[in-house]
Every structure is written in structure tokens, then in C-alpha cells.
């Protein structure tokens, strides 16, 4: 299909101005002030004059094959649906396993990623789960990263959490070293996605690895860095050292009451300190469980993370936090694309993938979604559902 979007204001995520965008096959083939087509080939023309054109959103931490289970088998969370991703404007996802690396495994995670690819979404995964030693798809982290295109790194490995496998400094160093070498050999960036719990340790081991080995800080992406004030503070110091941090956008009121930093406040505080927003990402933790525990770590309740929270949080940053769209949009586009080494993602550029979100210029609500050159939503209406979705 050939799609021509006329006259929309482009955010790359930087604000570029009004342009036409031509998409053919899977890719963006032209971005110009005016594109005129003299052809009798079927072209879908979208009037974009009241719309902003944004790069398809990247959600870099989603339990695509389900997660949870902390309250027994009936609390295992469901797989994500195509509609969930379309509603969230997410055209690229990084899937991950979580607490349960026994009842769920890499074969299931990769199968789900392949299913999403068939349905029109770009899906990558991390190898492993919370646990160390890392349970891989092949016989090693190196083989997984080198020979499986979908695998971009390892994770989410849990530290500083009562659900972690209490990994030692030596174990974490060896994992990071293996990710570094394998990703060099594979021409990938190589990410070690670290789940940070609410314990007191936070980033101590990661910082020690960076300080005492030759492994560059860019390989680590600690997530849930807004989960508590002491975790957030450690994240600010880590940013100062040049590290990357990820904030989780799915939340429940109980988390905020217990001291979780709302993403809007977190971004404002980072900006006030003059720290580098290019080193910050948002991810939804979609389909993950949002368990609440009492002071003795006994489970008291559980809700489900949603990918729709990713872009909703960007809108909150704009409307409640008065942060410019182009400043916060990169947290779900250019930044994750750079950190994970997704070569044709995160920008609206010629030869990049045809992943475009069109939003209302006033309300910023998602109107239209194009993923890999295919229209999945138009004028607020979802055009394609996943198999077995009602
Ligand atoms: Zn996690």
C-alpha cells in the first residue's frame, strides 16, 4: 500500500514543521514540503492538516506473553493483544519475562514476538527473566544475542528486590561482559535491562561494575527508577555519571501514596537539575502485574500494567507538566531506539520504517496509526484486530 499524509506538522521527535510524508511498502520513502503524485496507482491519501505526525512509539519493557503470578497461578497475567498496542500507539515493543521464569520461558516469549510481527507490530525481546543464572533460548546468552535477530539483550534481571535471585556482583559482571562481547560480534548495542526493586541496594552493584571493570555504562538500562524516592535519587546520581534510566508509566494510586514518583514530577525534576533527558526512557511494564505488598512483603492486591499508559504519560507531561511535546516525545521514540540500537526506528526520516502516529494537534489524542506501512487505525477507529480478539 502507498500512503500519502498531507500537511501534517512533523515531530521527528524534534519539531520539523509542516511536511508531506510518503510511505511505500514498509518504509518512509519521501518527506517534503509538498509531494505531488501523478500516478494511476492506488494511493491512500490522509489529510493531516489538523494532525501532528509522530514516530511510532517504542515501548521498551512489556510482558507481551504475560507476567505476574506473585499471588499464585490464577494471578498470572494475560498476553498482550494487538488492539492494546494499537490503542497505545505502540508500533515497536521489547518483550520480557518477569518474576516467573519457570512457568514461562523464552520459547513462549519468542513465539509471542513472532505472532505480533505477523500481526504488524515490530517485536524484539530480552533473553532471561528476573533470575540468575539467566535461562536462555539457546545454550548461552552469547548464542541468543548473536544468532537471534529479535533478541537485543538480557533481562529483566531483578536486583534489590525480595523477588530477585539475589545475584552477586560477580554474576552480574559476567552477564554484562557476555552481553558486551556478543553484541559487538552481532553488530548490536546489547542491553542489560535491570529490574530495580524497592530494596536499599538500588544501583550499588551496577555502579561497582562500571567503576571496577571496563564494561561501559551504556549497556545497562535499569527500569522502575521512579518506584520510590530513594530509587529516584539514586537514578539522578546515575544520570550524572552518564547512565541510562527507565521510568515505568503503569501505576496505581496506592503506589503513588506509598511514595512512587509520578513520571511528570520525575521529568520536571530532571529538567530542573539540567540532567540529560536523552538518557531517560519511559516504558509501560504493560501486562506486568502491579502487586501491592504490606510491610512484611505479604501480597495485598494486584492490577495489570497497560501499554496505553506510555503515551498517556507523555500527554500528562505536556498538559499537566507544561513540558514541550518534542522534549518528552523522545523518551518513547528516539531514546529507546538509540539505547537498544533499533536502526530504523524512533524517527520520521526517509528509509526509516513506516511507523507513524497521527494525533490531534490540540488534544494530542491518537487518531491514526501506521505500522510498517500498514494502516492499523484511522480517524479513531481500529481497522485490524488480532486473531481471537472479540
Ligand atoms: Zn520489573
Angle at the Cα of 161 (from 106 to 64), degrees rounded to 5? 30
**pLDDT digit string (tens) for 265-283?**
999 999 999 999 999 999 9
Neighbours of 281 (CB within 10 A): 28
23: three-class secondary structure by DSSP: strand
**pLDDT digit string (tens) for 29-54?**
999 999 998 878 899 999 999 999 99
Cα–Cα dist 96/154, whole Å: 9
Cα–Cα dist 257/241, whole Å: 30
Q: What is the pLDDT of residue 290?
A: 87
The gap from C-alpha 151 to its chain's centroid, in whole angstroms, comes to 14
Q: How far is CA 75 from CA 96, 164, 303, 323, in A?
A: 17, 18, 9, 37
Q: Which three cell numbers mark 294?
A: 504490606
Give the phi and the psi of residue 386 in degrees, each rounded to 5. -70, 160
CA–centroid distance, 195 to ligand 1, in Å, is 5
CA–centroid distance, 11 to ligand 1, in Å, is 30
CA–centroid distance, 98 to ligand 1, in Å, is 6
CA–centroid distance, 96 to ligand 1, in Å, is 9
- The torsion defined by the Cα of 381, 13, 242 and 155, in degrees rounded to 10, comes to 30
CA–centroid distance, 363 to ligand 1, in Å, is 31
Which string of DSSP letters, residue by residue, matches 310-340?
HHHHHHHHHHTT---HHHHHGGGTHHHHHHH
Which residues in the chain show pLDDT less than 50? none
CA–centroid distance, 378 to ligand 1, in Å, is 33
83: three-class secondary structure by DSSP: helix
CA–centroid distance, 367 to ligand 1, in Å, is 30
Write down how long the chain is. Answer: 390
CA–centroid distance, 110 to ligand 1, in Å, is 18
Cα–Cα dist 41/20, whole Å: 18
CA–centroid distance, 21 to ligand 1, in Å, is 37
Cα–Cα dist 157/98, whole Å: 8
Q: What is the pLDDT of residue 1?
A: 83
- How do 381-382 and 374-378 pair as beta strands? antiparallel
- Which residue, 158, 197, 371, is CA-closest to 293? 197
Find all residues with CB under 8 Å of 80, minimum gap 6, and list them: 62, 63, 64, 93, 112, 116, 286, 287, 307
Ligand 1 (single-atom ion) residues, CB below 5 Å = 156, 195
Q: Which three cell numbers mark 266?
A: 520525575
Give the phi and the psi of residue 144 in degrees, each rounded to 5. -60, -50
The alpha-carbon radius of gyration of the chain (Å, integer) is 20
CA–centroid distance, 156 to ligand 1, in Å, is 6
CA–centroid distance, 68 to ligand 1, in Å, is 10
CA–centroid distance, 223 to ligand 1, in Å, is 7
- Active site (catalytic) residues: 285
| CA dihedral over 153, 154, 160, 166, signed as positive or negative | negative
Amino acid at each position: 500500500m502507498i500512503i500519502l499524509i498531507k500537511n501534517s506538522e512533523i515531530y521527528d521527535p524534534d519539531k520539523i514543521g509542516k511536511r508531506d510524508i510518503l510511505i511505500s511498502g514498509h518504509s518512509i520513502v519521501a518527506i517534503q514540503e509538498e509531494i505531488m503524485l501523478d500516478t494511476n496507482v492506488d494511493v491512500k491519501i490522509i489529510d493531516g492538516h489538523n494532525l501532528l505526525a509522530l514516530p511510532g512509539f517504542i515501548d521498551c519493557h512489556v510482558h507481551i506473553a504475560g507476567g505476574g503470578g506473585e499471588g499464585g497461578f490464577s494471578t498470572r497475567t494475560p498476553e498482550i493483544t494487538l488492539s492494546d498496542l494499537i490503542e497505545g500507539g505502540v508500533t515497536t515493543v521489547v518483550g520480557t519475562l518477569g518474576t516467573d521464569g519457570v512457568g514461562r520461558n523464552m520459547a513462549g516469549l519468542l513465539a509471542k514476538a513472532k505472532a505480533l510481527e505477523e500481526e504488524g507490530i515490530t517485536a524484539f525481546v530480552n533473553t532471561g527473566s528476573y533470575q540468575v543464572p539467566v535461562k536462555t533460548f539457546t545454550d548461552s546468552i552469547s548464542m541468543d544475542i548473536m544468532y537471534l535477530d529479535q533478541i537485543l539483550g538480557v533481562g529483566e534481571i531483578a536486583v534489590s528486590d525480595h523477588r530477585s535471585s539475589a545475584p552477586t556482583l560477580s554474576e552480574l559482571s559476567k552477564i554484562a561482559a557476555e552481553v558486551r562481547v556478543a553484541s559487538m560480534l552481532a553488530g548490536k548495542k546489547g542491553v542489560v535491562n535491570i529490574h530495580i526493586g524497592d530494596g536499599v541496594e538500588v544501583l550499588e552493584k551496577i555502579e561497582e561494575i562500571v567503576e571496577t571493570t571496563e564494561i561501559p555504562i551504556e549497556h545497562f538500562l535499569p527500569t522502575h527508577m521512579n518506584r520510590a524516592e530513594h530509587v529516584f535519587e539514586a537514578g539522578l546520581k546515575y544520570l550524572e555519571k552518564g547512565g541510562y534510566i527507565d521510568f515505568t508509566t503503569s501505576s496505581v494510586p496506592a503506589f503513588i501514596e506509598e511514595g512512587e514518583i509520578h513520571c511528570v514530577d520525575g521529568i520536571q525534576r530532571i529538567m530542573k537539575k539540567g540532567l540529560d533527558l536523552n538518557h531517560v526512557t519511559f516504558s509501560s511494564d504493560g501486562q506486568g502485574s502491579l502487586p501491592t505488598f504490606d510491610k512484611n512483603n505479604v501480597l495485598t492486591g494486584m492490577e495489570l500494567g497497560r501499554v496505553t499508559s506510555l503515551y498517556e504519560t507523555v500527554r500528562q507531561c505536556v498538559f499537566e507538566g507544561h513540558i514541550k511535546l518534542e522534549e518528552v516525545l523522545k523518551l518513547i521514540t528516539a531514546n529507546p531506539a538509540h539505547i537498544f540500537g533499533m536502526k530504523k526506528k524512533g524517527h520520521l526520516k526517509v528509509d526509516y520504517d513506516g511507523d507513524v502516529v497521527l494525533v490531534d494537534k490540540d488534544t494530542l489524542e491518537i487518531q491514526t496509526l501506521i505500522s510498517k506501512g500498514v494502516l492499523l487505525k484511522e480517524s479513531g477507529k481500529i481497522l485490524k484486530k488480532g486473531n481471537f480478539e472479540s
